[in-house]
A and B are shown apart, each in its own frame.
Chain A
Amino acid sequence: MAITINGQEHALPDDPRVTLLDLLRGDAGLTGTKKGCDHGQCGACTVLVNGMRINSCLALAVTHDGDEVTTIEGLGSPTEPGVMQSAFLAHDGFQCGYCTPGQICSATAMLEEIKAGWPSDATEDLEGAPEITGEEIRERMSGNLCRCGAYTNIVAAIREAAGEDA
């Protein structure tokens, strides 16, 4: 049983209680992913599994045998930040930074979901192609809380990363 994290294979834990979040931060030593509420309410633990964003705190690691996980460390580095990471820097899309890895992983997947045409609660025409509007971004990012309240700049950063006028 193994899991691939940012392109590297890792063994799965013997104890089935270990969540994907704890595997990432513990055995894999990737502390970019944050533990906030540990109950799927805050989004700080958001990572991509096979390209889909999930709350890693509500996933048992053993159930992800064979899956490919991308964490914030897999999206870029301090010297070579990814597009979304650069946009968050440019727009000051954070204050304390604790929610930021989850925000960036979530936003990265969100742009792919819009490209794939998935509707949201804010989409007026269910059968049309959703657009990248402020309202769509706010609804689609509602699973990522920021207690510093940097939301305005987070939306601006995401719009820039999407190639829209911020």
Chain B
Amino acid sequence: MRPFDYQRAERLEHASQLAADSETLPLAGGTNLIDLMKLQVETPQTLVDIGRLSMGEIAEEGEGLRIGALATNTATAAHPRVRADYPVLARAILAGATQQLRNKATTGGNLCQRTRCYYFTNIDQPCNKREPGSGCGAIDGVARLHGILGTSPQCIATYPGDMAVAMAALDATVEITGESGERSVPVRDFHRLPGDTPEKDNVLEPGEIITAVTLPAPVSGKHIYRKVRERSSYAFALCSVAAIVDMAEGRITRADLAFGGLAHKPWHDPRIAELLVDSEPSLALFDKAADLLLEGAQGYGENDFKIPLTRRTLTAVLCDATGVEA
């Protein structure tokens, strides 16, 4: 690990001022950042420790729930309101990492988790995300974990988390504070597509710090988080589906879906709900939904399997949610 200065923030404003420097990074749980510093993928001159700020509360906000940025993944998944009213979120968190990591990992840090692309984490390899202009090793290389939707000629990395996929299905909002004030960004718009600037994972500007994620009022329906991975525990998603689906009188009345493991961000396509809602569920309908989702999907050799895998996983989730026989 390269040497760095350690500063503990006593106030959020202080943290934000310090983090405005391009050589400074905020430190919360550290489960991703410290790992990347050991690999010298991240080499900050200063770490500003925000871990002692009082941003860990999970509290009612109107009919919804406000999850503080420093609430651990464990605290969120075990929270009675999350388990009762937002089970897709509890399920997604519990499907990720291990108990040791979830005990440390925070809500804000998890949203900022960086890709697990093997070229990004190996400083001997080219990577446009780590070193803009150096090239992409994955496009013609080892790409099993990589994206099939929204990729660019510069980067095919995926956002690796599970929590944010459920938050995208729930249409949660990220609360952000910075030197120029506070703002809110839907989770669905928080992460970016790589385009020509894959070094930017999300919309945070220098000095901006996540303070909370707000969940809207709970909605009725079946909550499902289906994660397909290489082994049954402690592996990143090859493909995951977060779904909240409701039915009335034989028709679908809600279909809030988001997908993980496929893109540089949790993937949400509003056309899928438009197709499904008010329709009678059937295998033919689910196939049309998969056609929409996978329109423009591109494999890169090793991850070609993700295209049929995503179609089958979406179908399985919709069958489970609506009672249609697979």
- The reply on A52 being an interface residue by CB < 8 A is yes
CB of A165 within 8 A of chain B? no
Residues of chain A in range 25-62 having any CB-CB distance to chain B below 8 Å: 38-40, 43, 46, 52-55, 58-60, 62
A62 to B30 alpha-carbon distance, docked (Å): 12
Measured between alpha carbons, how far is A30 from B100 in the docked complex, in Å? 20
Using known A-B contacts A40-B35, A121-B233, determine if residue A110 contacts B91 with beta carbons closer than 8 Å: no
Q: In the bound complex, how far is the Cα of B34 from the Cα of A113, in angstroms?
A: 26
The reply on B101 being an interface residue by CB < 8 A is: yes
Compute the total of residue contacts between A and B using a CB distance below 8 Å. Answer: 94
Complex Cα spacing A59 to B83, Å: 29
Contact of B74 among A16, A40, A118 (CB under 8 A): A118
Q: Contact check, B103 vs A52: say whether CB atoms are below 8 A apart.
A: yes
Residues in B neighbouring A152, C-beta threshold 8 A = none
**In the assembled complex, A100 has its CB within 8 A of some CB on chain B:** no
Write out the residue numbers on chain A whose beta carbons fall within 8 Å of the beta carbon of B91.
121, 126
The 0/1 profile, CB within 8 Å of B marked 1, for residues 5-31 of chain A is 000000000011101000000000000
Contact A117 B78 (CB under 8 A): yes
Cβ-defined contact, A55 with B77, below 8 A: no
* Complex partner residue of A126 from B1, B35, B51, B83, CB under 8 angstroms: B83
Within 8 A of A (CB), among B67-92: 74, 77-78, 80, 83-84, 87, 90-91
Q: A138 to chain B: which residues have CB within 8 Å?
A: 233
Q: A60-B30, A126-B90, A143-B100 are in contact. Are A121 and B35 (CB under 8 A)?
A: no
What's the minimum C-beta distance from B39 to chain A, rounded to whole angstroms? 8
User: CB of A139 within 8 A of chain B?
Assistant: yes
Asked, given contacts A119-B83, A119-B90, whether A143 binds B77 with beta carbons under 8 Å apart, the answer is: no
Closest to A53 in B: B100
Q: B89-111: which have CB < 8 Å to A? A: 90-91, 94-95, 97-101, 103-104
Considering the complex, give the chain B residue whose CB is closest to the CB of A117: B78
A127 beta carbon closer than 8 Å to chain B: yes
Separation of A60 and B47 alpha carbons in the complex (Å): 11
Shortest distance between the CB of B140 and any CB in chain A (Å): 27
- For A123, the chain B residues whose CB sits under 8 A away are 94
Additional pairs, 9, CB under 8 Å, beyond known A46-B100, A118-B77 = A39-B35, A52-B103, A55-B101, A63-B51, A106-B100, A109-B99, A126-B90, A126-B91, A127-B84
